[in-house]
Amino acid sequence: MLVSQIDEILEVLPTARWKDQTKLLGQIEDEESAMMQPILGNELLDELNNTYRELIGNYGKITTAALVATDIKSTDLMPVRLIRQIQKALILRMMADNASTLSVSFNEGGGLNRMASDSYESLSNDEIKELKSEYWHNSITAIEGVLLMLERDALSPKPLWKDKWQSSEWYFQHSDLLFPTLRSLIPFFPMQKKERRVEYNEMLPEIRFCQNTYILPMLGQDLIDKILEEENGTTKKTLQLVRTALGIFIRARVVRTPPHSKSETQHQLADLEASAQQALHTAIKYMLAHADELKPAIEQAQFYKPEPKPDSGKHTHCHDERKEYDTFSTLL
């Protein structure tokens, strides 16, 4: 467990005045399993728990006050920063999920009482709701910080946690997708949150659905692999065009969900679906015009039809790209 001391909770909630704050550790442990385990993955979470125990054994505490007074090893700085960022996310999410419960107590008869004291006034239901929302948003910001630290480490020359983090669902790179990273998505999709890494991970099911539903059946896996793996002018241009179409398909999926009104959704959906189809048509037209450079992968694509071989002794006509494109565009 990555939080074990009262001072670690006070570091995040400095105004807390619970008589026995150790009672919060159970809720924090629940958050570690429910929230942080999918983000870190089992292997990295286990490693960080071992590192945390070693740090506590070496320094007693890893709070700001303790570390300022301690000559901490340079090799321990990054693990300490990451663990403290994780602690912040865990404690804030615990408060977001449990603020309502923590504001009441059970009396001897089994009834509920609102917690209060002589020095403080209890919060109203609306105030508690607003506070929970603030804790939730702050926990998302803290998670973004965790993801940013792990991504920077993974891209560094000598990463500390990359091998362990790769088994996580939230690893920053998904090589099978046309948008394998956040950076690849940003030019083609308007991100809504400042916590972009969190948003990207939340969007992964939509990205995968749209790729598998609209792009994969048309292009085939061989062609997708080719434009993702090979670096030349034709594949780069093809990838850009296909990503444009996929980005619009994803936007169409997003507007199907609230808070859009029904009329707004129908209007936007019609525009986006038409734009996505046109963008995919444009990509297919380009691929057909550069088919020789995309062979043999393009030969498995649904839209591709090879030129028939000319009869012996007859004049050979040039490939009619427009006719072929019109024929196969009906498949979309």
Distance CA 82, CA 85 (A): 5
Collapsing DSSP to helix, strand or coil, 113 comes out as strand
Tokens standing for residue 196: 């972009």
Q: Where are the domains of the chain?
A: 6-106+122-165, 182-307+318-329
Distance CA 110, CA 305 (A): 75
Element (DSSP H or E) covering residue 112: strand 112-114
Tokens standing for residue 50: 């071992």
Distance CA 330, CA 143 (A): 45
Q: How many CA atoms lie within 13 A of 263 on its CB side?
A: 0
Distance CA 52, CA 58 (A): 10
| Contact between 238 and 285 (Cβ < 8 Å) | no
Indicate the pTM of the whole model: 0.83
**What is the largest distance, in Å, between two alpha-carbon atoms of the chain?**
104
- Each residue's pLDDT, cut to its tens digit, for the chain (332 residues) gives 999 888 898 889 887 776 666 778 888 999 999 999 999 999 999 999 999 999 999 888 888 877 777 788 888 999 999 999 999 999 999 999 887 666 655 555 555 555 555 556 677 778 888 888 999 999 999 999 999 999 999 999 999 999 999 999 999 999 999 999 999 999 999 888 889 999 999 999 999 999 999 999 999 999 999 999 998 899 999 999 999 999 999 999 887 766 554 555 677 888 999 999 999 999 999 999 999 999 999 999 999 987 776 655 554 444 444 444 444 444 44
Give the residue from 57, 98, 64 showing the smallest Cα distance to 81: 64
Tokens standing for residue 114: 């609102």
Distance CA 49, CA 155 (A): 23
User: DSSP string of 247-267?
Assistant: HHHHHHHHTTSTTS-HHHHHH
